[in-house]
């Protein structure tokens, strides 16, 4: 995420304070609590004690934004904690009918990033609909206006777990890559994804599957046959992948 966006999240210059508004509940945050991308954010984070939660909400009620961020910063240990904390707190604010546009914009920026799915960053229409309804940050609204729904999102969602496996797991990687590229090629042939998006996928595969040393390619996690199929610029020997159990046994010797 760019530094410019991060700054925007932290200091949106729009109507802070406690406000009561009659907003349509058609797309409230509570309506998103079963969304697969967001379900984890609606439980109190492990690092947030009840007394801290109450203090943070009181700072919001009192429009003490600097004190809110100061206390929040003392609890946050990672960038992931930030989204966990702010989305959860906003859900609690909604339940208590506390409204603060400053924090609303901050959370909508984070939802905006979470709503772009997979390597292709396909927008999730339900989450973006919420952001369009509740955000009033001009820059965020311009970003939202540039995103359009993809009617084939459900088809792509089936591929996102395979993308994660390709990046983070070595088991069955050859079969996973063949299955994935077959589906992506079909999306490209039917003009559901653009040439640029197709090229982007190929670059992500190269980055995930090639082994580099000193700026050069020294091996690959997939067979040379599959490297040719993916049009890798450098076709290198496939590196043998040991099972985790076998690697542990070798370490003990």
Q: Which range is least confidently modeled, 2-11, 66-75, 164-173, 207-216?
A: 2-11
Residues 6+ apart with CB under 8 A from 50: 44
pTM > 0.85: yes or no: no
pLDDT tens, residue by residue, 12-22: 444 444 443 43
pLDDT of the residue at 16: 41
pLDDT tens, residue by residue, 79-100: 889 999 999 999 999 999 999 9
SS3 content of the chain, % helix, strand, coil (to 5): 60, 5, 35
CA-CA distance, 97 to 95, in Å (whole number)?
Answer: 6
pLDDT tens, residue by residue, 152-196: 999 999 999 999 999 988 888 999 999 999 999 999 999 999 999
């Amino acid at each position: 995420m760019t530094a410019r966006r991060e700054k925007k999240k932290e200091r949106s210059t729009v109507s802070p304070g406690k406000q009561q508004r009659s907003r349509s509940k058609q797309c409230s945050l509570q309506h998103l609590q079963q969304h697969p991308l967001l379900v984890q954010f609606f439980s109190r984070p492990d690092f947030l004690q009840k007394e801290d939660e109450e203090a943070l909400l009181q700072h919001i009620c009192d429009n003490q934004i600097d004190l809110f961020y100061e206390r929040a910063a003392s609890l946050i240990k990672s960038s992931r904690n930030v989204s966990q904390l702010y989305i959860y707190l906003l859900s609690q604010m909604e339940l208590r009918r506390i409204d603060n546009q400053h924090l609303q914009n901050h959370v909508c920026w984070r939802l905006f990033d979470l709503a772009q799915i997979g390597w292709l960053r396909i927008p999730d229409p339900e989450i973006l609909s919420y952001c369009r309804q509740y955000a009033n940050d001009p820059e965020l609204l311009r970003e939202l206006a540039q995103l359009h729904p993809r009617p084939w999102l459900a088809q792509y969602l089936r591929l996102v777990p395979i993308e994660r496996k390709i990046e983070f797991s070595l088991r069955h990687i050859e079969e996973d890559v063949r299955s994935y590229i077959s589906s992506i090629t079909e999306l490209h042939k039917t003009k559901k994804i653009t040439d640029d998006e197709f090229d982007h996928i190929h670059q992500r595969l190269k980055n995930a599957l090639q082994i580099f040393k000193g700026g050069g390619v020294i091996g690959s996690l997939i067979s040379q046959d599959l490297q040719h199929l993916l049009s890798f610029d450098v076709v290198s020997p496939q590196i043998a992948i040991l099972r985790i159990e076998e690697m542990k046994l070798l370490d003990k010797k």
